[in-house]
């Protein structure tokens, strides 16, 4: 069997790669989507009340495959919710929702129009069943707002199928045995879900699409920024492989890696399939109770598992070596099986491709092989825990192992930090949705559409800033992306130098922030004051740092007060200072001639930095030195 393929050697066209992306972006609206609560996140410690619920899970609400697993876990799983003084009975599922937030709908339609989509005439809010507890109601409220758009990329046009407006789920805080804790602050924040068609053909293009969608979303200036406010799901399939949905990609930078790794995983799973077929491998579905073999085991993890139940084992005939085979960075085929065990609330699995290890001895492995009639060509799967749970998990694992002979299963996976993925659940069925009767439909009228003004795209603004203001690519990009781009243009219109304005707004300010200065209190008004002072020569460029520091401390300062503080020195005072200095250093100057300038300049600047333009000082100083040197 050949080694794992590496991403760079793959011809994506040849393997028939198809990728679609789904982006979830939180909107920065004043209120939540279905209640009057603010869209602010809280510290969990600030929670003023908590309550607990169960969710009713019926078979029709789960994927066929994992009914056993999920029913067992879901029906007995307790959810604890943290409530705040910024959440209300709607988040607690104790009051009907209010009507759809029109501010959010407007942003959603604005984004749809930027993506060349056609809005529906009437928006219907639906209940999408979600039984993991992340929605107190057991469903997510979601509405399809627009369809059939597109974006252009370097590698061609990519269709945008749908744009939905929906409520964000509650944030998971922790998961203990059988109890999941969620925080209600995030529940109900408006979110747009944008789904592309499976038109993307390379990992690189996937990243391009995500980047472009991100740019368009940011152009509206009505979205939340920062960690967790945007999530990407990626659908990946290759020919002979299967459609796999990867959830929760937080980092845009990882997107191409994740697609590459998934392609690799599918190729490797297909290679495993071919090898298994060649070997004539099969799965022996007998479940052996092997608890007695480990009665005196030294393995801590095994001991811990046995305290709660039994050790069960089954044999994958002629699978030897393949369960331990790496199919993605740091992920083996065995990891896929362990993922399933974890879904059942078990720690994981052991398999003989990696044993002896974890304190399990050679002798124990030999006795295990003996007991389950396995030889060196076989791989034994060992699982410990509460008997019923372990049995159900093992049965499900054997089913998955058997599927290895067929190829790649369709499934939902979750993104891991290193760009690999782990099994999450089967692909959800499509139609677990019904109307949210508590929320009336909303018309998208011509008038509503007319009230929407499309913003300039950030990419367009970068080009314009280069052309109109002669900014280089770097400065134009920084400025066009900034929330202060309007202020920039205003200041430039007032006659200030564009690069200087960019430097102050986008470089000086962040560096002050790094110093711990409270820059949030510095507003547009303040910047205008500073630039006025600069224009009238009352402060020097070099002095802007100091002036901004003064403003940060006294945000209510008036322009004339500021003027007084910064221009407490007039030029005659500087002249006096320089004359005195030059006289006192006469010998030094006569000795060094013009080279005396720099050290002296340093001394003067030390005294007047920020109060007078450095150029003025240097001229005065030069003149004075020259006068002295001329005066023999």
Which does residue 37 bind out of another protein, Zn ion, none, counting CB within 5 to 8 angstroms by kind?
Answer: Zn ion
Residue 128 touches which of another protein, Zn ion, none (Cβ within 5-8 Å per kind): another protein
Q: How many residues bind Zn ion (CB under 5 A)?
A: 5
3-state secondary structure of 243: coil
Query: Minimum distance between the CB of residue 131 and another protein, rounded to whole angstroms?
Result: 6
Contacted entry of another protein, Zn ion, none for residue 72, CB cut-off 5 to 8 Å set by kind: none
Residue 55 beta carbon to another protein: minimum distance, rounded to whole angstroms: 5
Q: Does 612 bind Zn ion (CB under 5 A)?
A: no
At 42, give phi and psi (nearest 5°): -125, 160
Which CB sits closer to another protein, 7 or 68? Answer: 68
When binding is defined by CB under 5 A, the residue of 33, 55, 90, 131 that contacts Zn ion is 90
Site membership for Zn ion, residue 88 (CB under 5 A): yes
- Among 29-37, 137-145, 397-405, 408-416, the segment contacting Zn ion (CB under 5 A): 29-37
DSSP string for 253-313: GGHHHHHHHHHHHHHHHHHHHHHHHHHT-EEEEEEEE-GGGGTT---HHHHHHHHTSEEEE
Residue 295 interacts with which of another protein, Zn ion, none, CB < 5 to 8 Å by class:
none
**β-pairing verdict for 326-328 and 331-332:** antiparallel
Applying CB under 5 A, which of residues 27, 37, 129, 480 lies at the interface with Zn ion? 37
Q: Which residues contact 63 (CB under 8 A, 6 or more apart)?
A: 70, 425, 426, 427, 428, 429
Residue 88 binding result from another protein, Zn ion, none, given CB thresholds of 5 to 8 Å by partner type: Zn ion
Site string for Zn ion, 334-363 (x = CB under 5 A): ------------------------------
Confirm or reject binding of residue 35 to Zn ion (CB under 5 A). yes
Pick the closer one to another protein by CB: 75 or 623. Answer: 75
* 35 vs 272, beta carbon nearer Zn ion: 35
State the number of CA atoms in the 13 A half-sphere of 62 facing the CB: 20
Q: How far is the CB of 352 from Zn ion (least distance, A)?
A: 53
- Contact of 259 with 203, CB cutoff 8 Å: yes
Binding site residues, another protein, CB under 8 A: 51-58, 60-61, 89, 92-96, 118, 120-124, 126-129, 131, 136-139, 142-144, 147-148, 162, 164, 430-435, 440-441, 443
Any idea what DSSP says for residue 133?
A: S
Residue whose tokens read 């925080």: 183
C-alpha to C-alpha distance for 141 and 136, rounded to whole angstroms: 11
Nearer CB in complex with Zn ion: 90/112? 90
Residue 51 interacting partner from another protein, Zn ion, none (CB closer than 5 to 8 Å by kind): another protein
Report the residue number, 54 or 358, with the smaller CB distance to another protein.
Answer: 54
> Measured between alpha carbons, how far is 215 from 509 in angstroms, rounded to an integer?
23
Examine residue 189 and tell whether it contacts Zn ion (CB under 5 A): no
Minimum separation from the CB atom of position 51 to another protein (A): 4
CB contact at 8 A, 518 and 526: no
Q: In the complex, what is the shortest distance from the CB of residue 435 to another protein, in angstroms, rounded to a whole number? A: 5
The least CB distance from residue 127 to another protein, in Å, is 8
Supply the minimum distance, in Å, between the C-beta of residue 520 and another protein.
37
Compute CA distances 448 → 6, 34, 222, whole Å. 51, 19, 18
d(CA 84, CA 42): 8
- List helix spans (H) across 63-129: 67-76, 102-114
Give yes or no for residue 33 binding Zn ion (CB under 5 A).
no
Separation between Cα atoms, residue 465 and residue 537, nearest integer Å: 27
CB 258 within 8 A of CB 294: no
Please identify, using beta-carbon distances, which residue of 12 and 81 lies nearer to another protein. 81
DSSP string, 519-545: GGG--HHHHHHHHHHHHTTSS-GGGHH
- Indicate the residue among 190 and 419 with the shorter CB distance to Zn ion: 190
Please list, in sequence order, all residues whose beta carbon lies within 8 angstroms of the beta carbon of residue 236, skipping any fewer than 6 positions away. 17, 18, 19, 243, 244, 246, 259, 262, 263, 266
- Taking the complex as a whole, how short is the minimal distance between the CB of residue 30 and Zn ion, in angstroms? 13
Segment contacting Zn ion by CB under 5 A, of 85-93, 263-271, 275-283, 531-539: 85-93
CA distance 563 to 569: 11
3-state secondary structure 189-214: CEEEEEEECCCECCHHHHHHHHHHHH
Is 191 or 397 the residue whose CB approaches another protein more closely? 191
Q: Between 37 and 111, whose beta carbon lies closer to Zn ion?
A: 37
CB 480 within 8 A of CB 219: no
The CB-of-98 to Zn ion minimum distance in angstroms stands at 9
611, 540 Cβ separation under 8 angstroms: yes
- Could you say whether residue 540 binds Zn ion (CB under 5 A)? no
Nearer to another protein, 66 or 613 (CB): 66
Between 106 and 224, whose beta carbon lies closer to another protein? 106
CB of 80 to another protein, least distance (A): 9
Instruction: Indicate which of Zn ion, another protein, none lies near residue 35 (CB less than 5 to 8 Å, by partner kind).
Output: Zn ion
Interface with Zn ion (CB under 5 A): 35, 37, 88, 90-91
């Amino acid at each position: 069997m050949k080694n794992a393929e590496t991403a760079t050697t793959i011809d994506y066209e040849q393997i028939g790669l198809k990728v679609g992306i789904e982006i979830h972006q939180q909107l920065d609206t004043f209120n939540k989507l279905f209640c009057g609560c603010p869209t602010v996140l809280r510290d969990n410690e600030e929670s003023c009340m908590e309550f607990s619920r169960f969710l009713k899970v019926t078979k029709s609400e789960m994927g066929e495959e994992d009914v056993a697993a999920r029913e067992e876990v879901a029906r007995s799983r307790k959810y604890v919710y943290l409530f705040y003084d910024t959440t209300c009975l709607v988040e607690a599922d104790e009051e009907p929702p209010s009507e759809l937030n029109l501010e959010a709908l407007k942003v959603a339609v604005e984004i749809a129009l930027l993506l060349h989509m056609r809005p529906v005439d009437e928006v219907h809010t639906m209940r999408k069943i979600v039984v993991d507890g992340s929605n107190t109601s057991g469903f997510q409220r979601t509405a399809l707002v627009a369809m059939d758009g597109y974006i252009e990329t370097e590698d061609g046009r990519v269709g945008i199928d749908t744009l939905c407006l929906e409520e964000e789920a509650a944030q998971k805080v922790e998961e203990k045995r059988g109890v999941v804790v969620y925080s209600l602050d995030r529940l109900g924040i408006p979110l747009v879900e944008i789904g592309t068609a499976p038109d993307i053909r390379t990992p690189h293009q996937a990243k391009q699409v995500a980047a472009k969608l991100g740019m368009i979303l940011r152009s509206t200036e009505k979205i939340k920024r920062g960690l967790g406010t945007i999530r990407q799901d990626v659908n990946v399939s290759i020919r002979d492989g299967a459609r796999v949905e990867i959830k929760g990609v937080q980092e845009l930078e990882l997107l191409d890696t994740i697609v590459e790794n998934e392609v690799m995983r599918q190729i490797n799973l297909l290679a495993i399939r071919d090898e298994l077929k060649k070997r004539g491998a099969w799965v022996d579905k007998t479940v052996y109770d092997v608890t007695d073999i480990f009665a005196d085991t030294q393995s801590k993890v095994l001991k811990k598992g046995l305290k709660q139940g039994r050790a069960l084992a089954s044999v994958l005939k002629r699978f030897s070596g393949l369960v331990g085979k790496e199919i993605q960075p740091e992920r083996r085929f065995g990891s896929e099986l362990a993922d399933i065990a974890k879904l059942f609330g078990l720690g994981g699995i052991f398999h003989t491709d990696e044993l002896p290890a974890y304190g399990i001895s050679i002798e124990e492995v030999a006795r295990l092989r003996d007991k389950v009639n396995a030889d060196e060509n076989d791989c034994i799967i060992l699982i410990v825990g509460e008997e019923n749970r372990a049995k159900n998990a093992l049965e499900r694992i054997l089913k998955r192992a058997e599927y290895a002979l067929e190829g790649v299963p369709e499934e939902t996976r979750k993104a891991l930090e290193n760009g690999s993925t782990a099994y999450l659940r089967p692909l959800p069925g499509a139609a677990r949705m019904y109307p949210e009767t508590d929320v009336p439909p909303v018309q998208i009228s011509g008038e509503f559409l007319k009230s929407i003004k499309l913003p300039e795209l950030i990419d367009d603004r970068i080009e314009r800033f280069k052309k109109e203001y002669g900014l280089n690519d770097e400065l134009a990009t920084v400025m066009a992306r900034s929330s202060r781009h309007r202020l920039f243009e205003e200041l430039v219109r007032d006659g200030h130098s564009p690069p200087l304005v960019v430097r102050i707004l986008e470089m000086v300010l962040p560096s002050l922030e790094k110093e711990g200065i409270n820059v949030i209190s510095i507003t547009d008004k303040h910047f205008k004051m500073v630039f006025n002072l600069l224009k009238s020569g009352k402060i020097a460029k070099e002095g802007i740092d100091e002036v901004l520091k003064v403003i940060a401390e006294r945000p209510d300062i008036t322009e004339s007060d500021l003027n007084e503080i910064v221009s407490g020195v007039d030029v005659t005072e500087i002249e006096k200072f320089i004359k005195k200095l030059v006289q006192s250093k006469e010998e030094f100057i006569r000795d060094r001639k013009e080279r005396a300038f720099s050290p002296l300049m340093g001394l003067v600047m030390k005294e007047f930095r920020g109060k007078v333009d450095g150029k003025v000082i240097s001229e005065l100083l030069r003149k004075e030195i020259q006068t002295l040197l001329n005066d023999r």
